[in-house]
Structure 1
Amino acid sequence: MTPATRTSTIRRRIALAAGAVAVAAIDLSAKAWAENYLDAPIPLGPIDLRLAYNPGVAFSMGTGAPTWLIIAVTATITVVVAAVAWRAAAAPARLRLTALTLVLGGAAANLIDRARDGVVTDYLHSGWFPTFNLADTTIVTGAGLLVLAAARHRAPDTDVAPGPAPGAFETEPT
């Protein structure tokens, strides 16, 4: 690895970490605000601000599971995402790095929130969808960007045997 490549990788990893910390900090600040000041729902149009707590995971699945188990599983997933993001930062793929930054920041924020009292604080309510929070939106947005990045940068199909070289079967005119 050249010094320039090493420097670029370090910069991307710093950006990844800083971005994930910023996402987590913004979400945890919004959760703190919701817990301290959101006494009654605030209608804002398609999304209302309404305080709720989720003892389970996505869509309240696993609500009856022990808190320690949910924390252990989400911590493991968060560590795996962090490792994948750290390795991915070695390549200059901005869309993928942005996506992983959003997923990591959201996952870390929800993990930190759950570790405090066993539940995740939610505050965005649509009326037709389960109540969620900013970390959830960054995780979903990041996952969508990962799909987009994968679709844009598909590896060539290596299962197909290469055909003959162009002109291999051409004959000279007689």
Structure 2
Amino acid sequence: MSSEPTSTVEGSGVRTSRRIRILLVVAAAVLAATDLIVKAVAEAVLSAGATNDVGPINIRLVYNRGVAFSMGAGLPPWAVIAGTALVMAALLWYTLSAAPRMSLLSRAGAAVLLGGAAGNFIDRLDGQGVVDYLHSGWFPTFNLADVFVVGGVGLMVLGSFLSPAVPREER
């Protein structure tokens, strides 16, 4: 008799689901860290209000105390942080519970979305607001995390239409 545990189809499915979730969280953490590094560089290099023209996008340091498109900017910081924390918790719960059933493209989108949301949430915690630095002139100033959020949602939607979800027996 061997003391080695035998792998069952059900057991390997649990390990695969765990690996999928871990990979998703690690990818999101790397993207959030990338966003936070870029924001730190923007704060170190740019002076508030000054605009650097680099083509179709201007680089300009702005602190967004609200949420998307500065909505809620007049609310107390604790209210914005609490509301954002609730949304982040719901997003994390949904993503981690649904990840094993998502298509690969939707999983990638979920990781990108979580990374962007986490980057903006962490940035918001200091009370100054979220660092925005990309300005087009016709759209509110935004940052890399915002690009991640929008791109992640887009990938998740595309993934749900283009790639079938993983059937239950293959998880």
Q: Same fold (TM over 0.5)?
A: yes
Please point out which of 131, 150, 155 is paired with 2:141: 131
Q: State which of 20, 25, 29 in structure 2 corresponds to 1:12.
A: 20
1:145 counterpart letter in structure 2:
L
Matched, 1:152 2:136: no
Equivalent residue number for residue 150 of structure 2: 140
Q: Which amino acid aligns with 2:62?
A: A
Structure 1 letter corresponding to 2:15: T
Q: What is residue 35 of structure 2 aligned with on the other side?
A: 27
Residue 45 of structure 1, CA deviation: 1.1
Shift in Å at residue 50 of structure 1? 1.0
Alpha-carbon separation, structure 2, partners of 1:62 and 1:92: 33
Matches of 1:64 and 1:132, distance apart in 2: 18
**Structure 1 gaps, min length 5:** 156-174
Larger Rg: 1
1:92 Cα deviation from its structure 2 partner: 5.4
Q: What stretches of structure 2 of length at least 5 have no aligned partner? A: 1-8, 166-171
Deviations 1:57-113 (A, max 9, x none): 111111111111111111111111111111122225211111111111111111111
Q: Does 1:87 align with 2:97?
A: yes
**Contact 2:58 2:135 survives alignment (8 Å):** yes
Q: Which residue of 1 aligns with 2:88?
A: 78
Secondary structure, aligned partner of 1:90: helix
Q: What is the aligned partner in structure 1 of residue 169 from structure 2?
A: none
d(CA) in 1 for partners of 2:100 and 2:46? Answer: 42
1:105 aligns to 2:115 (yes or no): yes
RMSD in angstroms over aligned alpha carbons? 1.7
Question: Does the 8 Å CA contact 2:104/2:159 hold for their aligned counterparts?
Answer: no
Aligned partners of 2:83, 2:64: CA distance in 1, in Å? 16
Does 2:86 match 1:68? no
Give the match's secondary structure for 1:63: coil
TM-score (structure 1 length as normaliser): 0.82
Match of 2:44 in 1: 36
TM-score (norm 2): 0.84
SS of match in other structure, 2:118 = helix
Give the Cα separation in 2 of the matches to 1:26 and 1:135. 9
TM-fit CA distance, 1:9? 1.2
